[in-house]
Structure 1
């Protein structure tokens, strides 16, 4: 299993709108082969990034998602926030799960 973590810096004045965009997300990833679950983590300290964390059976499943029509459709919906709502470029990290208390 892998995790894909996307760290997204959001300016405070856009935080509510950013959160609402995830509450109303298209959910297209949910039916993708290899997808396990999605979590959106809200920072507890001002200035820290939001973290969008997805769990996948393997990296090929994640890569297939990023090349799918569903990915393009889902991310086209996320364009409702202006470019200046963000503090910089998102940072994507991929990790193998070495240990999980769920196992």
Structure 2
């Protein structure tokens, strides 16, 4: 399993609109093969980015999502915020999830 973490620096005055985008998202990813779950983490300190964290069964499943029509449609439907809403560029990180102690 992998996680895909997108660190998104959002200016404070756009935080509510950013969160609304995820509450009202198209949810097209939810039905994609290999998708496990999605979490949006709200910063607790000024200057910290939001983190959009998705879990996938494999990197191939994630890459299939990013190449899909559903990906393009979901991002187009979510309504984009103006460029000035962001305090910098987002950063994408991919990590493998280590097996837990009960894994066979």
TM-score norm. by structure 1 comes to: 0.94
Partner Cα distance (1:102, 1:80) in 2: 42
Partner Cα distance (2:66, 2:16) in 1: 26
Q: Match for residue 96 of structure 2?
A: 96
Partner Cα distance (1:98, 1:27) in 2: 27
Q: Match for residue 84 of structure 1?
A: 84
**Aligned residue pairs, count:** 103
Unmatched 5+ stretches in structure 2 = none
* Structure 1 residues 74 and 101: CA distance shift in structure 2, 3 A: farther
Runs of at least 4 residues of structure 1 off by over 4 A? 100-103
Aligned-residue RMSD, C-alpha: 1.6
Unmatched 5+ stretches in structure 1 = none
